[in-house]
Amino acid sequence: MKRRNFIAAVGVGGLGLTINPMLAVAQQQKKFTEWGMPQPYEMVSASSIAFLKEKGWWPIKIGSQPGFTSLPVAGPKGFFKSRGLEVEVISFLSGPAINEAAAAGRIQGGIEGNLPFTSLIANNAQVRCLAIAAPVLKHSTMVPLNSPLKSLADIKQAPNKPLAFGIVAGSSAEFYFQEALKTNGLEVGKDVILKSLTPPDLLLMPEGLAGVVQWAPYTWTQTKVRKNAREIDTIFPYNFYQGNVWMIKEIIDKAPDVAQAFVDAYVEGILYSRYDEKDTNAITEKDPMYKSFTPELIALLTRVVNNSYKPTWFYPYTDFWAAENSRVSAWLAKSGRLKTLVTADMYKEYFDTRFADRTMQKLGWKVPQRPPWIPANWIGKVGQLPYPSYPNEDNMTEPQLFPDKGDLTSPWYFNGRNFKPS
């Protein structure tokens, strides 16, 4: 996203802009791309490539599904090849399908949500999460336009209970909905019943259902494109969702420069999507994985998922995510869907921040003490519901400013501007 407008609004002193921007551009172009990636690229070693080829892992195959940013542009823009890495992105419809491919040895990495990644840990899969995807992704409870329901609390006095809600069973949407019901004093079986359907089926808002529970971008399809539903509740007070960017441990251990190149290219995809939304959207529209997405949905994906928060959103904040996801594991275990309870300490073992740390160091970015969606004065605590308000899709009117005071450890260049630590 070209953000000269609100960079300029902050002023020169606040962000450390150089007095002579033309001179700064001339000096910095040798060190950074226009979208802020340090130059030259760090190349994967010949020995690591030989290792991957010997294992039959060339190109590296990464499982993904619609709704995650960076990869749709990182490949076509050559961000992997620029580092000597060959990557093939394999399309799946769900996280469990990605897990099945991983178990069969057909992929060496993946991007998937919190529930399927929890299953990987419970099954002792030899993988590690290297970065985060789509943090704080919106999930919504939606009802038909003519529904009398205005909130979940209205279900308590609704006639003809239990009310039927369509949902993808075992998904992050179900976890959110179960937590929301409990927080609002509602019970499955007594107040509502759940009907398991696929996301495409839910988009139709089938007759006989009081509502459906979906996640973005499907929520946008119903409320903004088809306009066949309205929201009565969202995930934000009940759960911090995140996707996990993982790679098999054998590559991490035996070819760490491959893991580093992958994280660097992934972050470069995030940066390019901030630098040029229009080109990012055009590239994504050509991706077969997104053939069912309208241009409006793809634009929302870039603007909301990739560009709302500071780009440090990709960083795997180990303590934060381990604490939040241990709630997911407890729910899965209690409902009999997980044989092994994954504790917060077990989660921590599956986050490997070394590569994200090095990427941050190359960029000259400081690793924040908290994720960018958690304000310094936030009074909430992970696991204590409902969560107090924090920046999210529903209340943000513009993207978070980056870089801001305290964000940099060394000079950084982006979109014609040179920034210094402040």
* CB-based contact 65:93 (threshold 8 Å): yes
Q: Are residues 122 and 268 in the same domain?
A: yes
Domain identity same for 127 and 146: no
Residue at a domain's end among 234, 264, 279: 234
| 13 within a domain of the structure (yes/no) | no
Residues 227 and 293 in one domain: no
Cα–Cα distance, 153 to 306 (Å, whole number): 32
Nearest to 80 by CA among 106, 107, 36, 42: 42
A 10 A CB-CB count for 50 gives 12
What residues contact 333, with CB distance under 8 A and at least 6 apart?
A: 339, 340, 341
Please name the residue ranges forming H helices in 126-285.
172-183, 199-203, 218-220, 249-254, 256-275, 277-285
What SS3 class is residue 68? Answer: coil
Q: Which residues pair with 412 in a beta bridge?
A: 419
Contact 178, 170 (CB under 8 A): no
- Judgement on whether residues 207 and 333 belong to the same structural domain of the protein: no
Do residues 253 and 323 both lie within one domain? Answer: yes
Residue 414 belongs to some domain of the structure? no
Location of structure tokens 């920046």: 391
Predicted local distance difference test score (pLDDT) of residue 75: 96
Alpha-helix residue ranges (DSSP H) falling in 289-394: 295-300, 318-334, 344-349, 354-363
pTM value is: 0.90
Q: Do residues 220 and 258 share a domain?
A: no
Q: What is the pLDDT at residue 292? A: 87
What CATH number did the domain enclosing 77 receive?
3.40.190.10
258 and 200 within one domain: no
Whether omega before 288 lies within 30 degrees of 0, making that bond cis, reads no
Expressed as residue numbers, the domain containing 173 is 139-234
pLDDT in tens, 65-80: 988 999 999 999 999 9
Please tell me whether residues 183 and 122 are part of one structural domain. Answer: no
Beta bridge partners of 62: 89, 109
Task: Identify whether residues 295 and 356 lie together within a single domain.
Answer: yes
**Number of neighbours of residue 106 by Cβ within 10 angstroms:** 12
Stretches in the chain below the pLDDT threshold 70: 1-30
Residues 225 and 264 in one domain: no
Please tell me the total count of domains within the chain: 2
Q: Which of 234, 254, 272 is the last residue of a domain?
A: 234
* Cα 303 to Cα 299: distance, rounded to the nearest angstrom: 6
Residues 155 and 181 both lie in one domain: yes
**What are 47's two structure tokens?**
């020995």
Q: Which of 174, 209, 234 is the last residue of a domain?
A: 234
What is the predicted pLDDT for the residue at 93? 80
- For residue 276, being part of any structural domain is answered with yes
287 and 331 share one domain: yes
Give the CA-trace dihedral at 343, 170, 289, 294, to 10 degrees: -120
Q: Which tokens hold the place of 281?
A: 């959207």
Strands 243-248 and 109-112 come out as antiparallel
